[in-house]
Structure 1
Amino acid sequence: MRDQTIGEFLEELSARVPAPGGGASAALHAAQGASLVAMVARYTTGERYAAHAAAVGRIAAAADELRETALRLGAEDATAFTAVTDAYRLPKGTDEEKTARSAAVAAALEGAARPPAEVVGVAERVVALAEELLPICNRNVLSDVAAATEAARAAAGTARVNIEINLGGIKDGTVRAGFSATAGAAGPLMDRADRVTAAVRREIAR
Structure 2
Amino acid sequence: MMFMDQTLEEFIKNVNSKELPGGGSISALTALLGVGIGNMSFYLTEDKKSFKALDDETQQEIRSHVDRLTEIIEELKEKMVEDTKSFDSVLQAYKLPKETDEEKAYRKKMIADGYIIATESPMSSARIMMEAMELVKQIAKYIDKYAITDLLASAYLLHSSMKSVMLNAKINMKQLGDSKKVADEITALEYKSEVLLREIEEVSYKKIGEV
Do these two structures clear the TM 0.5 threshold for a shared fold by scoring above it? yes
Say if 1:84 and 1:198 are closer, same or farther in 2 by CA, change over 3 A.
Answer: farther
Of all paired residues, the percent bearing the same amino acid is 22
Larger of the two Rg values belongs to structure: 2
Residue 147 of structure 1: CA displacement?
0.6
- Tell whether 2:152 aligns with 1:150: no
* Structure 1 equivalent of residue 121 of structure 2: 115
**Separation of aligned partners in 2, 1:46 and 1:203:** 18
* Structure 2 equivalent of residue 200 of structure 1: 204
Matching residue's letter, 1:147: A
* Structure 2 equivalent of residue 21 of structure 1: 22
**SS, match of residue 137 in structure 1:** coil
Number of positions where the alignment pairs a residue of Structure 1 with one of Structure 2: 202
Q: TM-score, normalised by structure 1?
A: 0.88
Give the one of 182, 187, 192 matched to 1:189.
Answer: 192
Q: Deviations over 1:32-90 (max 9, x none)?
A: 12212221222221361121421231122011011111111111111112222222222
**Separation of aligned partners in 1, 2:147 and 2:186:** 31
Larger mean CA deviation between 45-54 and 150-159 belongs to 45-54
* Structure 2 equivalent of residue 43 of structure 1: 44
Larger mean CA deviation between 143-152 and 88-97 belongs to 88-97
Structure 2 residue ranges without an equivalent (≥5): none
Give the one of 90, 93, 103 matched to 2:99.
Answer: 93
Residue 121 of structure 1: CA displacement?
1.1
Conserved? CA contact 2:37–2:153, under 8 Å: yes
Matching residue's letter, 2:67: A
Structure 1 residue ranges without an equivalent (≥5): none
Q: What is the Cα-based RMSD across aligned positions, in Å?
A: 2.0
Conserved? CA contact 1:29–1:155, under 8 Å: yes
Q: TM-score, normalised by structure 2?
A: 0.86
Q: Deviations over 1:175-201 (max 9, x none)?
A: x34322322223113313431235423
Conserved? CA contact 2:30–2:157, under 8 Å: yes
**Separation of aligned partners in 2, 1:184 and 1:166:** 16
Say if 1:182 and 1:82 are closer, same or farther in 2 by CA, change over 3 A.
Answer: same
Conserved? CA contact 2:145–2:208, under 8 Å: no
Conserved? CA contact 1:27–1:116, under 8 Å: no
Matching residue's letter, 1:40: S
* Structure 1 equivalent of residue 108 of structure 2: 102
* Structure 2 equivalent of residue 12 of structure 1: 14
Give the one of 80, 99, 102 matched to 1:74.
Answer: 80
Residue 162 of structure 1: CA displacement?
0.9
Say if 1:6 and 1:83 are closer, same or farther in 2 by CA, change over 3 A.
Answer: farther
**Separation of aligned partners in 2, 1:6 and 1:185:** 35
Conserved? CA contact 1:42–1:60, under 8 Å: no
Q: Deviations over 1:105-137 (max 9, x none)?
A: 111111111221111111111211111111111
Matching residue's letter, 1:186: L
Residue 100 of structure 1: CA displacement?
1.6
